[in-house]
Amino acid sequence: MSNPDKHTTSPKEWEAADKYFNNLLIPKDDALDAGLAHADASGLPNIAVSAAQGKFLHLLARSIGAKRVLEVGTLGGYSTTWLARALPEDGEVITFELEELHAKVAAENLAKAGVASKVKIVVGPAHDSLLKIPSEPKFDLAFIDADKESNLEYFVEAKRLVRTGGIIIVDNVVRGGRVTNPEHPQYDSPGSEGVRRLAAALKDDKEVDSTVISTVGDKGYDGFLYAIKL
């Protein structure tokens, strides 16, 4: 019998695996599909989380009984919709978006998905806006998926705002392996350097406990940082 661990997989196989499990475990959702189509038609970049990642965020929020969620990077509101659906009717997602067009498209998508009442979109530079958020009441979960060069600044504020035992997730930290590969042309990019700055700061950070999970799928090879506020 061959050893499956020695088999070299390809992006085609990652996509096929995602499609297989998504077809079984994630029912077709017209509102989410329409939101992605609207974002694409509006010229937004195709960088939203995958369906599997969206469902993961949704399940995570439900599993901790989240009521308040902080999101940095709204884009077209795809992950925002997944998160908002996990909250009770009096729950709230506060999400930060730099681009006015993105925020407009997101607001339209959230309204069509029926979750607009749970979401507040803050437009402008996210770090400046985060600094203005009071430390109380605390958030249960923070999801950071914006410009990677500012990861550390976003994380510091998320750590201030999340309750003890709350979760902080930073997306796109593996970046196809370029973060650790000096031969990759984007090794020295601001985004890759931003990831390394965050990881270096977390090495001796006694206020959180963290790990990084690598992922493959229809979004390629990447990964996310998962941290618990101590």
Task: Kindly state whether residue 105 falls inside one of the protein's structural domains.
Answer: yes
pLDDT the model gives residue 100: 98
Question: What separation in angstroms does the CA of 96 have from each of 187, 197, 207, 216?
Answer: 27, 22, 24, 27
Least confident of 2-11, 66-75, 110-119, 175-184: 2-11
Task: Kindly state whether residue 4 falls inside one of the protein's structural domains.
Answer: no
Task: Kindly state whether residue 1 falls inside one of the protein's structural domains.
Answer: no
Round the CA-based radius of gyration of the chain to a whole number and report it. Answer: 18
Arithmetic mean of pLDDT over the chain = 96
Per-residue model confidence as pLDDT tens digits over 10-54: 999 999 999 999 999 999 999 999 999 999 999 999 999 999 999
Range of the domain at 170: 10-229
Question: How far is C-alpha 131 from the chain's CA centre?
Answer: 20
Task: Kindly state whether residue 202 falls inside one of the protein's structural domains.
Answer: yes
Q: What is the DSSP letter of 75?
A: T
Q: What is the DSSP letter of 95?
A: E
3-state secondary structure of 97: strand
Q: Which two tokens stand for residue 222?
A: 């990447």
Total structural domains in the chain?
1
Across the range 71-82, mean pLDDT stands at 98
- Reply yes or no on whether the pLDDT at 7 is more than 80: no
Continuous H helices in the chain? 11-25, 30-41, 51-63, 78-85, 100-113, 126-131, 151-161, 190-202
Q: Which two tokens stand for residue 158?
A: 């998320």
Q: What is the pTM of this model?
A: 0.95
More confident residue, 80 or 8: 80
pLDDT the model gives residue 6: 63
**92, 74 in Cβ contact below 8 A?**
no
Task: Kindly state whether residue 3 falls inside one of the protein's structural domains.
Answer: no
Whether the bond between 137 and the residue before it is cis, its omega within 30 degrees of 0, is: yes
210 CB contacts (<8 Å, ≥6 apart)? Answer: 202, 225, 226, 227, 228
Per-residue model confidence as pLDDT tens digits over 124-147: 999 999 999 999 999 999 999 999
**195, 171 in Cβ contact below 8 A?**
no
Task: Kindly state whether residue 139 falls inside one of the protein's structural domains.
Answer: yes
Q: Which two tokens stand for residue 98?
A: 């730099």
pLDDT the model gives residue 8: 77
pLDDT the model gives residue 9: 87
Per-residue model confidence as pLDDT tens digits over 114-127: 999 999 999 999 99
Task: Kindly state whether residue 2 falls inside one of the protein's structural domains.
Answer: no
pLDDT the model gives residue 26: 98
Least confident of 1-5, 184-188, 215-219: 1-5
Task: Kindly state whether residue 61 falls inside one of the protein's structural domains.
Answer: yes
CATH number for position 138: 3.40.50.150
Beta bridge partners of 72: 96, 144
pLDDT the model gives residue 5: 62
Closest CA to 121 of 144, 149, 159, 92: 92
Count how many Cα atoms sit within 13 Å of the Cα of residue 217 in the half-sphere of its side chain: 17
